Amino acid sequence: MKNIILPLGISFLTFQQIAYAVDSYRGETEGYSFLDYAVFAAFFPRLIAGPIVLHHEIIPQLNERKNHSINYDNFAYGILMFTIGLAKKIFIADVFAQAVTWGYGSVSTLTSLDAFIVMLSYTLQIYFDFSSYTDMAIGIGLMFNIKLPINFNSPYKARSIQDFWKRWHITLTRFLTKYVYIPLGGNRQGPFRTYANIMIVFLISGLWHGANWTFVLWGFLHGLASVLHRRFAPAWNKLHTVLQWFITFLFVNLAWVFFRADTITQGFVLIKKMAELKSLAVSHSLLKCFELPVITWLKRLFYSAPSGSWAIGLDMLLFLAFTFIILLLFKNLHEIEFKPTLLNGMLTAVLLVCSILSMSSITSFIYQAF
């Protein structure tokens, strides 16, 4: 089989062009020049991994005269968003990436607790990795006075799978709803047809991520969960909100296992490892993945600080607790009122410098492969 070389982010560009072609067929793109289209298609911040933008969100902004000069508030806010996105990638996503890479490369030797930590690590890695790119793209867009759409709205706070897809990769959900689900008939042709349309949409979403049966199974699981939620919504709504969140979060975690696995068999092996509950020990190699340079430096500074696996295990627990606090308690960037003060500027500059200096290796964004 020949290796086929494809541009990075080809799927994002493809969906954007499909949307433009359909809207053009519907007569919604009249009045645009070729230059308008070219700039819209080639606007570089969101080319690699989104968000998936529509023409009416970008082209009118390109033609507004006020956007042709520097807006210092937009520029300052853009630098802040870019910096926070970069920091999330380097200080959070890449840490989890080490644990995930080690875990999926050692599935057969994992303990039950290892497998659980690896599963949770990928759930957190993919969120912080993908959302960090989106933050950086939106930030760069703002520097050019272009406002890109929000792509995440605290998806791990979701209390149902339907709620999850209103929060996760919002622009993908919007595209599939507008250009696939509704043209298929949506929910206008009875329950059976509605359920079939939902399954088709999620299977397409799985295939969009990659030509591997693992992605198809991931899409099928989310489609099935969406159908079941729609069918049994009255019973679901009677559950306590904490239980709704827990079940939803657990399901999302288990589905991510197949999304990340090289094969469906590998995914089932990882889940089996967790279900067996044979050992609650954590491998030293996995703990080492969470040994952060800052923590190591502090230990050296305070020579009396504990060392060994116990101390590294504490590092891991603190790091996991820190990320959950961010996910569940902090507001999204777009919900925070930003004021370009001197203090904000200094903090942003410090964080940006620390992020750049912490780039010890070359890492890619997960969604660059799609």
Catalytic residues: 209
- Torsion angles phi and psi, residue 75, rounded to 5: -65, -45
Closest CA to 108 of 2, 325, 261: 261
Instruction: Tally Cβ neighbours within 10 Å of residue 95.
Output: 21
Distance CA 53, CA 149 (A): 7
Amino acid in the structure at residue 83:
T
Amino acid in the structure at residue 173:
T
Closest CA to 87 of 331, 349, 366: 349
**3-state secondary structure at position 278:** coil
185: left (phi over 0), alpha (psi -120 to 50) or beta: left
Alpha carbon separation from 162 to 159, 233, 244 (Å, rounded): 8, 10, 12
**Side-chain-facing half-sphere of 10: CA atoms under 13 Å:** 8
Distance CA 100, CA 112 (A): 15
Give the single-character DSSP code of 28. -
- Torsion angles phi and psi, residue 72, rounded to 5: -65, -30
Distance CA 28, CA 14 (A): 19
Distance CA 78, CA 343 (A): 16
Helix (H) or strand (E) holding 356: helix 342-357
Give me the count of residues in the chain: 370
Token couple for 179: 């250009």
